[in-house]
Structure 1
Amino acid sequence: MPSTSPHASLTTETHRLPDDRTLAYAVAGDPTGAPVLVHHGTPGSRLFAALLADTAHAVGARLVVPDRPGYGQSSPPPTGWDWADWRADCTALLDAESLDTVSTLGFSGGGPFALAAARSDRVTRVGLVGTVVPPFEGGLATLARVPFALRLVFGVSAVLAAVAGPDLVVGQYTDRDVTDGVAEAVGVEFDEALRQRARAPARENRLFATNRVASLPDVSLRAWHGTRDENAPLEPVAEAVRAVDGTLRTLPADHLGTLLDCRVDALRWLVGDEHAAE
């Protein structure tokens, strides 16, 4: 049976994967809307859905937002698991939800996983917001090469966030003032992301530093990226979009600011609204 998440508008459900792992996911937005498979950032969790739920309901999108392995309530992955294996996990999730086709969205560190999922013939469109394009050097990706270093950093961050509140977490992604609702959503998602400590974000950041997305999916692609984004560089995104003749929209915003500013446009396009802004 589904259980209510800390955000009243979200519902958490679980699915048993073929290898007996548990995949937890949130469902939000319009229950009868067009399905959108959403990939949270790094670190992140299914509770990322709270930042998109109201918009999704307004534009007619039904969000399915899984915890990737090792985050939130999803089981850790087997040794050697990476974003190529994520496509199989997503296929199992679509089967569980009886979804033949979906569009998909990836935010930040969820971008490479969205691209991997989009290599399935069941994905019709892929949207990327403030995405990381591996191989990615600098920041946390470089620190992740040092054993236990990133796990220590996130462990300290979790303790500080528990004391200082969500504003500390929000400040890692934007310098703008956000509403109390946005701050709470970001803080709760961060807490849930580290429910199993920091192994998952450490593993993903190592992947970002050392692995390359093998090939881009042959589906319609749009990306939204902030010109002031200090968390993910713009140029690799521009190169990737050009390679598949996709569409890139730049915004005068930072990392989280880009998501907040483009979420209506992005979800409208993902549900098939051809009048969504270019």
Structure 2
Amino acid sequence: MPMPLRSPGRSTASSTSDGDRPASIVVEGDRQLAYTEYGRPDGAPVVFLHGTPGSRRIGALFDAAARDCGVRLIAPDRPGYGRSDPWPDRSVVDTGLLVDDLLDGLDIPTAGLVAFSGGAPYALAAAARTDRIDRLDIVSGATPPSASEATPRVQRLLAGLASTTPSVLGGLFRGQAWLAQRLGPSVVVDQYTTDGIDEPISEDAEELVRADFVEAFARHRSGAITEFRHTADDWGVDFDAVDAAVDLWHGDADTNVPIEDARRFATQIPTAQVRALDGADHLRALLRAVPKLLDEHR
């Protein structure tokens, strides 16, 4: 497929940032890509890609762990989420190029890469197109249609709406964000957890998950619509070109992306291995895995 003309990322804000006041760089012409840094400013750089939908704010869940592990955790909003400009006609591969732009803008030669859920295709696209990723960890990762034999019906419905009636899906997201702002975090958390698991999630973590979801739709809904459309199509990623080691951290109680699909997907990536998390669902796998993998990135 034709590749877009690329312009080097250039910093347009202070390197210091927080969840409410992100920094940004200019990418792909004149689009603003917002990001927040967590952990240690002088630590080993790791880029963290949020889920679908999601935002940079999910990185706050691991601020303390990143500090303890000596990691500089850099969490961007992908286009059309949070404070990043929309790019509704982007492809999976286009989005993968943004990791290179982010590293350029921050003068980072190489970095680790972590992706949660719907961030998986964009992380793999980045790893396939650059040798600057020295390790890739995917947690509760989405799988392409070729491996997704057990995809839940609701996921297929959302992907269908994104392709056929995006305005309907946008209205659904608008309503969910409105409810999430006004009701408790369970409105969001229940979408990522499985009933019957006796493993508590802290109130702080639940509130950050809610804040992440609300921030995803702070200005736009095009990011989520675009990415749900991507999930229904071939990603266009050459998995054989991924040289970095790929660890797929996946809960065996995940009902959002069943582990059977993750295991099928792992056979398509020559450098991949599955690291199963006993009794973990979609969200609990994230909470368990990221502190462990960040320690391995130090």
- Aligned to 1:210, the other structure's residue is in SS state coil
Q: CA offset at residue 64 of structure 1?
A: 0.9
Is 1:153 aligned to 2:172, yes or no?
yes
Contact between 1:104 and 1:125, CA under 8 Å: does it hold in 2? yes
Quick one: which of 89, 111, 126 aligns to 1:117?
126
- Counterpart amino acid of 1:158? A
TM-score, structure 1 as length reference: 0.90
- Aligned to 1:52, the other structure's residue is in SS state helix
Please name the residue that 2:7 is paired with: none
Quick one: which of 238, 241, 247 aligns to 2:273?
247
Structure 1 window deviating more from structure 2 (109-118 vs 208-217): it is: 208-217
Please name the residue that 1:187 is paired with: 210
TM-score, structure 2 as length reference: 0.84
Measured in 2, the distance between the counterparts of 1:221 and 1:73 equals 29
- Aligned to 2:164, the other structure's residue is in SS state coil
Please name the residue that 2:248 is paired with: 223
> Which string of whole-angstrom CA distances, capped at 9 and with x for unpartnered residues, describes residues 212-247 of structure 1?
342221211111101111111222321232341422
- Counterpart amino acid of 2:184? G
Contact between 1:222 and 1:241, CA under 8 Å: does it hold in 2? no
Alignment of 1:25-64 (within 5 A): 25-64=35-74
> Which string of whole-angstrom CA distances, capped at 9 and with x for unpartnered residues, describes residues 16-49 of structure 1?
1240110100111111111001100000011111
- Aligned to 2:290, the other structure's residue is in SS state helix
Gaps of 5+ in 1: 272-278
Please name the residue that 2:284 is paired with: 257
Percent identity reads: 36
Please name the residue that 2:296 is paired with: 269
Is 1:91 aligned to 2:100, yes or no?
yes
Quick one: which of 96, 113, 118 aligns to 1:104?
113
- Aligned to 2:257, the other structure's residue is in SS state coil
Q: CA offset at residue 177 of structure 1?
A: 3.4
Structure 1 window deviating more from structure 2 (61-70 vs 229-238): it is: 229-238
Q: CA offset at residue 165 of structure 1?
A: 2.3
- Aligned to 2:22, the other structure's residue is in SS state strand
> Which string of whole-angstrom CA distances, capped at 9 and with x for unpartnered residues, describes residues 239-272 of structure 1?
232341422111121100111111222212233x
Q: CA offset at residue 178 of structure 1?
A: 1.6
Please name the residue that 1:144 is paired with: 162
Measured in 1, the distance between the counterparts of 2:297 and 2:139 equals 12
- Counterpart amino acid of 2:159? A
Measured in 2, the distance between the counterparts of 1:94 and 1:68 equals 14
Contact between 1:16 and 1:23, CA under 8 Å: does it hold in 2? yes
Structure 1 window deviating more from structure 2 (68-77 vs 235-244): it is: 235-244
Measured in 2, the distance between the counterparts of 1:164 and 1:247 equals 39
Measured in 1, the distance between the counterparts of 2:92 and 2:62 equals 23
Structure 1 window deviating more from structure 2 (239-248 vs 66-75): it is: 239-248
Measured in 2, the distance between the counterparts of 1:230 and 1:181 equals 23
> Which string of whole-angstrom CA distances, capped at 9 and with x for unpartnered residues, describes residues 163-222 of structure 1?
212221111112453212101111111111001232211110011012234222121111
Quick one: which of 189, 205, 223 aligns to 1:200?
223
Measured in 2, the distance between the counterparts of 1:89 and 1:214 equals 15
Report the CA distance shift for 1:199/1:141 in structure 2 as closer, same or farther (over 3 A): same
Please name the residue that 1:235 is paired with: 260
Is 1:5 aligned to 2:26, yes or no?
no
Measured in 1, the distance between the counterparts of 2:238 and 2:122 equals 12
Gaps of 5+ in 2: 1-12
Q: CA offset at residue 85 of structure 1?
A: 0.8
CA root-mean-square deviation:
1.8
Quick one: which of 186, 190, 210 aligns to 1:171?
190
Measured in 1, the distance between the counterparts of 2:266 and 2:70 equals 26
- Aligned to 2:200, the other structure's residue is in SS state coil
Report the CA distance shift for 1:39/1:61 in structure 2 as closer, same or farther (over 3 A): same
Please name the residue that 1:276 is paired with: none
- Aligned to 1:50, the other structure's residue is in SS state helix
Contact between 2:33 and 2:84, CA under 8 Å: does it hold in 1? yes
Q: CA offset at residue 14 of structure 1?
A: 0.7
